[in-house]
Structure 1
Amino acid sequence: MDRRQFLKLGGFLTVSVATAGLAGCGSSNDDPLVDGLPPASGTAWSFPQSVAAGDPRPDSIVLWTRVVPAGTDPAAPAPAGNDVTVQLLVSSGDNARLLGTNAALAGMPVADQRLPLRAQYDNTVRHKLTGLQPGQTYYYQFVAGDARSNVGRFRTAPASGASVDQLRFATLTCQDWSVNHWGALEHVASEDNLDFILHLGDYVYETVGEDFQQGQVEARHDALRLPDGTPTGAGGSARYATTLADYRYLYKKYRGDRRLQAVHERFAFVAIWDDHEFSDDCWQDAQTYDASLAGGSGLRQTQRRRDASQAWFEFMPADVTFDAAQAGFDNIRIYRQFDFGALARLVMTDQRLYRADHVIPESAQVGRIGSRYLVPQDLYERAEAQKMAAGGTDPLAPVSMLGATQRAWWQQAMAEARTTWKLWGNEVSLLRMGLSGTDAIATLLALQAVPVLATSIGSTAQATAGNVPLAAAIVAASTAGASAIAAQAGAQAIAAVVAADGGSAQQVAAGVAAGLTTTQATLAATAFVGALSASGGPAASAAVAAQAIAFGFVKPDVQAKKVESSFVTASGKAAALAPYFRRFLLNCDQWDGYNAERKALMRHLKDNRIGNVVALTGDIHAFFAGTVSDDFDAAGGGTPVMVDLVTAGASSESFFTYLRDAAAGLGDLATIVSYPITIPVPDLGSVSVSVNLLDYTLGKAAPTTAALLEQIRVRLRGALAAKGVPEARLDATTQAVLDGLAGSTDFGVTLLNLAGQLSALNSNPWLRHVNTDAQGYTLVTVTPASLTARFRQVNRLAGTAAPATTIARETVVTVAAGSVAVTVG
């Protein structure tokens, strides 16, 4: 295949070799790169999406720009009839002062190359420059006639096998144009000394006007209007990108934001896609908006998949293969690897193009939420086993996320790595995120029983001459099924032993001798001693005893008997709660929904003693840190094999928000996700805030009042901003409201106790950090001794502009070399 044919069929990636001091190389009209095109002339040219660099290797880089005639709508298709050549200049001289400007690049060029500009590719230019020096900072600029682009910068990777003291990069994902703000990108652009940007997908969102895109957004992001688009079927004006023109439009609009441009200008990207570059929750060329039309498995849209892939290829500076002439949807390969000296290998995978259909198809109705969130684990496991049994020689094929070829490549890349660290650019989380519906229901019913039991103790105390401990023992025994006569006799017997300083065993024995069962006597003694020991008066004593009864008997009874428990029957919600007495997987679009293959990958690492493996993950719009086991369902949660560090979306609405809305129809069970509070605020009326309990249900450590207050700070600040509090007063007003909440019984007692009880479920003990209600990015530093990730959560939108104070908090997590553990703080 000659060069001209490659340009047409191979995706127009041109290649040249840098030669120090050789100015004007490739400038002749017979250069196969320019294909006889005339050079651009005059000043009437613009670079509306600025410049970008990608895939830094020791000797090469991919450089990108888009050039259109001046006055052209930046998001419109490039006008035909203007095919010309533009000039690329690259210099190793220090041009740092020129970043963000279109001043002429200074210094002797190491490359001066003419490149074709074609309307066929929407006037995008993609050029791979080879022959560069390792570990070197370069500056570059494109020139069209007399018009110059902004100056860009990139750093090549260290030489293979070289000793490297440090690797530093930022991780980005999920930057929805239509919600919140992009202040995080401005903050990333201001970082010093980054080697590159790791982008984990959802660079654009294919939908416009969906429900999750209806929240507040900064004024500088105008409403998107797809050139073509197709209704999503959800009603209203929501549409999804369908054609090449649609996808190109999205990249042009997103890349038109000056903050994203600034990040691209300053740092090379290493990027993969997730689902929204094509279609939400996609697999292969199937979209899931209309999954029911194809028997639940998703509607195949091969041309749409090809168009989405081509637009990604055209606009992302990535050293990948794309062949427009190849039939089918898999005419592009984006999985690839990078080595950074002897310090780290970075393996980037594609977890959409080759994945099998979801084990339980997206359109299946499971419980009351669906097949993505809160999927019954037993149902999932049966479906997975059935598909694997039908898989023939490759039982993983019907349940695979990577596909056989990519899986083998990943295993080889990991096994052959001679670097200290093996990093995995991973789209969806590897961490098990599950919960026991039985334990959650039992906990909630126990909590709901506390005020009822406290009231009963108070009423009973009127008949015991105000003796709250005695009343507590009577109520405890009755709750456990004792008759009124036995409850009273047992309580009095226990009281007598306590008065004589008898121990717990003697107390229980006395209760049994008076007619109680061992269980009843034990509960009565516990309630009596709890009430007796409590300080704060009769009401406080009754509350302490009520909690002892609720969590000493109500909760265990529900756990043991499930829907048959009398407490479930008494709640009047037995029918509604019945489907939830089982274990659930929280999100089956991620690796929990492809568990067999996850186990195969972890077994490969374990069997081959491949250590220091850390996945860097996006997708879920939350910060997580934890260990990945060889088999999460084994005793003790299995053996930790590697670490997964998950970064929140740059702007996309949080995972907590999505699950809160999805769980809203579950009644009381929704409390395991969210607890709404209304806070009176002077001069503003009141502010409503959803307190995030999902973190504690998943496994966050039990909070103190101060920690719980700090957790709601960012959401409260955003709510106050939405009420019109000026940003200059936001932090002070937020602190004043938090100070007022600290003394609230509802917050400091009821809510604190609820969060503590949910945390005690210990649903996912491998999780070391959980923050499901966040936007932000992660700053990663890798040294031979450790890998440190700084989770940087940003404040929410302030009015119609990104907040002046961007960073709300930073959480530092560390993985020490040679260990499979995460340290927080």
Structure 2
Amino acid sequence: MDRRQFLKYSGFFTVSVASTALTACGGSSNNTDTTTAALPAASGGSWIFPQSIASGDPRPDSVVLWTRVVPASAGIASVAAAGNDVSIRLVVTAADNSSALGSNAALSGTAVVDTRLPVLASFDNTVRNKVTGLQPGTVYFYQFVAGDVRSNVGRFKTAPAAGADLSQLQFAYLTCQDWSVNHWGAFDYIAKNENLDFVVHLGDYVYETVGASFQTGSVEARHTALQLPDGTVLNDANGKATTAKYATTTNDYRYLYKMYRSDPRLQAVHERFAMIATWDDHEFSDDAWQDAVTYENNSLDSAGNNVRNTTRRRSANQAWFEYMPADVNLDNANTTFQNIQIYRDFQFGKLMQLVMTDERLYRTDHVVPENLMNPATGKPLNSSLGSRYIVPKDVFDALEGQKVTAATAMTGNPLTNTSMLGKTQRDWWKGKMSAATATWKVWGNEVSLLRMGLNGTDAIATLIALNSVSTLASSITGALANPALQGNVLVASALVAAVTAGASQQVAAGAGIAIATADAMSGNPLSAATSAGLTATQAGIAVAAYNAAKTAAPAGTATQVGAAAQTIAFGFIKPDVQANKQNSQFVIASGQQAALSSFFTRFLLNCDQWDGYNAERKALMQFLQTSKISNVVAITGDIHGFFAGTVNTDFDAANGGTPVMVDLVSAGISSDSFFTYLKDGAGSTGLATIIFWPLTIPVPNIGNVTINVNLLDYTMGKAAPTVDDLAEQIRVQLTGALAAKGVPEGATLTGTVAAVLAGLKTNSDFNTSLVGLAQQLSALNSNPWMKHINADAQGYTVVTLTPGKLVAQFKQVNKLVNTGSMTAPANVIARITTATVNAGTAGLTLS
């Protein structure tokens, strides 16, 4: 911070210098500026620290310390009263006070800082002090004191010296902690169990909406409903007012931070670990870009463009600045919405350079506008569907190409109108990556860099084929009653296959018998089938169905019928749909031709993330490749699921281009999952089966338990499951469903889950039909660069970094328990999946 900025914020962002001549705790103050000296010292015992304390942005010689203090009568989320400015005391020591963590016991040991700091109502009674002159790689403890009242004890660790050789670094990264759904048990687990050097937060620290449709699920009882002091009514997709509101004023945004930070479990994490934070969209507005908002039918002007709200954006900026312990500047003399810069970098010895970006404040509008005409309706989209989510790839590619061409002609910069970072930040990012001397270059990246695409034609063809299997099986069973077939399931299978391919019943029956005769006489079944009147295509599928039934003969008639039915479905019906799309006879027969007609194309699932800024992503990846910059790993949030894969030079090139770096995406702490959102959106469409499968399981002494099996993972490209794999995938959901039914945690719940899964694995509907469905969806091979997909999860990620490898543990948490009280589970961690990136490779392995 330069002198001018320091003077501007000397009443709020103060700076203290650690003393080399140590004084005992309780000694006289030092480093007190003139603003503080003019304020009365807080006195007496009527003070509280309702949001506790926090530290952030650890560097080798500095850290930012934070608190908020108010009169005890004011309450947790009260608005600070003007004219009541006071000063409080800050003490920092290097003495070990570990036993005092979680308490307000007085710090022991000698102090390196003992100073007074201002508490100003104009900044909502928050305090933000940068301590400099610290020793690198050192653990310090700190405490604020207001009158006779002490805050809880805090701890932080400074970064190692820039040239230090480190054998290991360990940190967690977090994202998406919606107060209003699920639980915050993960924070409790982190505070009590993780041994970390620091924590990274990748955004969505608060959610600006209260009562929105995605926030109406179950939530732990201790998280009471939020009530914005001002707020603006949020309209639904039809423009009708709802009971939901979104933060609009500075007081609204401050309220959210005050309430979120009032949870003692989040406080405990802040008390124990310094945090390096950036924001994503919900600190301002969902899917925001610059100062523009994107709520459906609540944020479009008469021309169909996103409404820009500079005042609201500045309010969000100020609240973030006040409540996050980040070493950044806010310039209120700057009247634009870009009055704050939060992108910055950190070096941790020779081991890691951490580059934190801001992917909201400078990004251009989404490539596909909401006012684009929907060819299916002839009206503007006016929706996130088609513009930001489930976007036709050909539409996106055409529009981005037009913007790139126009920008090149007008400015010479092809990315002027299609950028996530903006030119200044993009050049800064390149410079940091080029100059980095550390082994690992870790990118604190808000939204996923991974291509998440879907071939709609292949998906629908698979769906239509799957839906036909039971009908085909019934037809084969019915054909067995034909006297001419004499109950021969092989011939019946050939007959149904030929009829499905367009042959008449009479010709198909004769061909089936001819195939069987040729098989028995060691002849050529294909030639026999065509000689009996079938076309080459009809003969091919008839013989394939015959052979499938023959191979399955040892397992019995039912298995033979099922095998033949699947052969016909995926050997003929699926290719027919792929070739003829909505004009396929099987699409027409399904009765869904009109509903499915617009889905016969390739889609990008989420164009609010880097898939929506593809030209810039390619430019960044090609820069890394050309510059020979290796060991680049992005740590990412936003999308509410665990994903891992390679980021390639050009996902549209043959084989998806060349891998350049790795993206490790963490699920949200509590926000509902990506799977949940798509499940709710797909429930009434013909595509529901490629997203989820409702499975009702009878459980003795409990009743029926229904879970929605996550098939989205396989549709997106997860490896084909075995029976055991699919059973393991539903374990967390099943555990949550049984806990919600009142099955007590512990041995009873664990045993019940094990028994139910064991029974499922012997059920043919599960071990054959459902597993087969997942395997067929996986075979779409939609995103081969993605090596791990878990789109239905909450949790966080812990990274252990050494010179030779980066190991990321994706820690998925269990669901809420106890229907009556809705509490976080005592057994928080449900599953750990490990991704390993070896130095020198742009790839990863999973275990």
TM-score range (shorter-chain normalised) is over 0.9
Mapping 1:362-381, distance limit 5 Å: 362=370, 369-381=385-397
Whole-Å separation in 2 of the counterparts to 1:562 and 1:423: 44
Mapping 1:23-102, distance limit 5 Å: 23=23, 27=29, 31-32=33-34, 34-102=36-104
In structure 2, the CA distance between the partners of 1:373 and 1:388, relative to structure 1 (3 Å rule), is same
Say whether the 8 Å CA contact 1:11–1:323 is kept in structure 2. no
* 1:279 match: 285
Say whether the 8 Å CA contact 1:10–1:322 is kept in structure 2. no
Deviation at 1:3, TM superposition (A): 7.0
Deviation at 1:722, TM superposition (A): 2.4
Asked if residue 441 in structure 1 is aligned to residue 449 in structure 2, the reply is no
List per-residue Cα deviations over 1:203-229 (Å, max 9, x = no partner): 001111111111111111111111111
Say whether the 8 Å CA contact 1:282–1:352 is kept in structure 2. yes
SS in 1 for 2:67: strand
Aligned-residue RMSD, C-alpha: 1.9
* 1:478 match: 499
| Equivalent residue in structure 1 for 2:266, among 260, 268, 272 | 260
| Equivalent residue in structure 2 for 1:390, among 369, 392, 406 | 406
* 1:345 match: 353
Query: Partner amino acid for 1:236?
Result: T
Mapping 1:542-621, distance limit 5 Å: 542-621=561-640
SS in 1 for 2:242: coil
| Equivalent residue in structure 1 for 2:111, among 87, 109, 112 | 109
TM-score (normalizing by structure 1): 0.97
Say whether the 8 Å CA contact 2:415–2:616 is kept in structure 1. yes
Say whether the 8 Å CA contact 1:625–1:645 is kept in structure 2. yes
In structure 2, the CA distance between the partners of 1:179 and 1:581, relative to structure 1 (3 Å rule), is same
* 1:645 match: 664
Asked if residue 656 in structure 1 is aligned to residue 675 in structure 2, the reply is yes
* 1:771 match: 790
Query: Partner amino acid for 1:590?
Result: Q
Say whether the 8 Å CA contact 1:653–1:775 is kept in structure 2. yes
SS in 2 for 1:665: coil
In structure 2, the CA distance between the partners of 1:364 and 1:202, relative to structure 1 (3 Å rule), is farther
In structure 2, the CA distance between the partners of 1:741 and 1:179, relative to structure 1 (3 Å rule), is same
Say whether the 8 Å CA contact 1:6–1:12 is kept in structure 2. no
TM-score (normalizing by structure 2): 0.94
In structure 2, the CA distance between the partners of 1:592 and 1:136, relative to structure 1 (3 Å rule), is same
* 2:844 match: 822
List per-residue Cα deviations over 1:745-765 (Å, max 9, x = no partner): 222222111111001100000
SS in 2 for 1:299: coil
Query: Partner amino acid for 2:393?
Result: Q
Whole-Å separation in 1 of the counterparts to 2:373 and 2:10: 43
In structure 2, the CA distance between the partners of 1:10 and 1:652, relative to structure 1 (3 Å rule), is farther
Asked if residue 509 in structure 1 is aligned to residue 509 in structure 2, the reply is no
SS in 2 for 1:475: helix
* 2:210 match: 208
* 2:246 match: 240
Greater mean deviation of Cα atoms: 341-350 or 538-547: 538-547
Query: Partner amino acid for 2:516?
Result: A
How many aligned residue pairs are there? 821
* 2:195 match: 193
Say whether the 8 Å CA contact 1:288–1:297 is kept in structure 2. no
Deviation at 1:479, TM superposition (A): 1.8
Deviation at 1:537, TM superposition (A): 2.2
Whole-Å separation in 2 of the counterparts to 1:5 and 1:744: 69
Say whether the 8 Å CA contact 1:3–1:33 is kept in structure 2. no
Query: Partner amino acid for 1:292?
Result: L
Say whether the 8 Å CA contact 2:352–2:441 is kept in structure 1. yes
| Equivalent residue in structure 2 for 1:126, among 118, 123, 128 | 128
Greater mean deviation of Cα atoms: 702-711 or 627-636: 702-711
| Equivalent residue in structure 1 for 2:827, among 801, 805, 813 | 805
Whole-Å separation in 1 of the counterparts to 2:659 and 2:31: 60
SS in 2 for 1:430: coil
List per-residue Cα deviations over 1:777-825 (Å, max 9, x = no partner): 1011111111011111001111211111101111111111111111000
* 1:455 match: 474
List per-residue Cα deviations over 1:612-631 (Å, max 9, x = no partner): 11000000110001011111
Say whether the 8 Å CA contact 2:11–2:36 is kept in structure 1. no
Deviation at 1:498, TM superposition (A): 1.8
* 2:714 match: 696
* 1:490 match: 511
Deviation at 1:29, TM superposition (A): 10
Deviation at 1:363, TM superposition (A): 6.2
List per-residue Cα deviations over 1:642-681 (Å, max 9, x = no partner): 10000000001111001111112213x1111111122222
Say whether the 8 Å CA contact 1:11–1:324 is kept in structure 2. no
* 2:315 match: 307
Say whether the 8 Å CA contact 1:204–1:251 is kept in structure 2. yes
| Equivalent residue in structure 1 for 2:732, among 710, 714, 735 | 714
Mapping 1:145-160, distance limit 5 Å: 145-160=147-162
Whole-Å separation in 1 of the counterparts to 2:84 and 2:41: 10
Deviation at 1:495, TM superposition (A): 1.8
In structure 2, the CA distance between the partners of 1:29 and 1:339, relative to structure 1 (3 Å rule), is closer
Asked if residue 500 in structure 1 is aligned to residue 515 in structure 2, the reply is no
Say whether the 8 Å CA contact 1:21–1:109 is kept in structure 2. no
Deviation at 1:516, TM superposition (A): 2.6
* 2:448 match: 429
SS in 2 for 1:578: helix
List per-residue Cα deviations over 1:477-534 (Å, max 9, x = no partner): 22222344443343333222322345xxx33233333333322222221111111121
Whole-Å separation in 1 of the counterparts to 2:4 and 2:787: 54
Query: Partner amino acid for 1:100?
Result: G
Say whether the 8 Å CA contact 1:34–1:85 is kept in structure 2. yes
Asked if residue 674 in structure 1 is aligned to residue 696 in structure 2, the reply is no
Deviation at 1:9, TM superposition (A): 5.3
Deviation at 1:7, TM superposition (A): 5.0
Say whether the 8 Å CA contact 1:531–1:544 is kept in structure 2. yes
* 2:21 match: 21
* 1:726 match: 744
List per-residue Cα deviations over 1:290-333 (Å, max 9, x = no partner): 23335343221101100101000000000011111111100000
Query: Partner amino acid for 1:332?
Result: I
Deviation at 1:113, TM superposition (A): 1.5
Say whether the 8 Å CA contact 2:454–2:716 is kept in structure 1. yes
Say whether the 8 Å CA contact 2:178–2:670 is kept in structure 1. yes
Greater mean deviation of Cα atoms: 655-664 or 450-459: 450-459
Greater mean deviation of Cα atoms: 114-123 or 484-493: 484-493
Q: Which runs of 5+ in 2 are unaligned?
A: none
In structure 2, the CA distance between the partners of 1:566 and 1:217, relative to structure 1 (3 Å rule), is same
Say whether the 8 Å CA contact 2:30–2:114 is kept in structure 1. no
Whole-Å separation in 1 of the counterparts to 2:572 and 2:348: 58
Whole-Å separation in 1 of the counterparts to 2:30 and 2:104: 26
SS in 1 for 2:39: coil
Say whether the 8 Å CA contact 2:53–2:154 is kept in structure 1. yes
Deviation at 1:446, TM superposition (A): 0.8
Deviation at 1:350, TM superposition (A): 0.3
In structure 2, the CA distance between the partners of 1:565 and 1:726, relative to structure 1 (3 Å rule), is same
Say whether the 8 Å CA contact 1:20–1:111 is kept in structure 2. no
List per-residue Cα deviations over 1:2-42 (Å, max 9, x = no partner): 97984545882111211133448994797335252222222
Say whether the 8 Å CA contact 1:603–1:630 is kept in structure 2. yes
Whole-Å separation in 2 of the counterparts to 1:740 and 1:107: 60
Whole-Å separation in 2 of the counterparts to 1:195 and 1:748: 45
In structure 2, the CA distance between the partners of 1:241 and 1:820, relative to structure 1 (3 Å rule), is same
Residue identity (%): 62
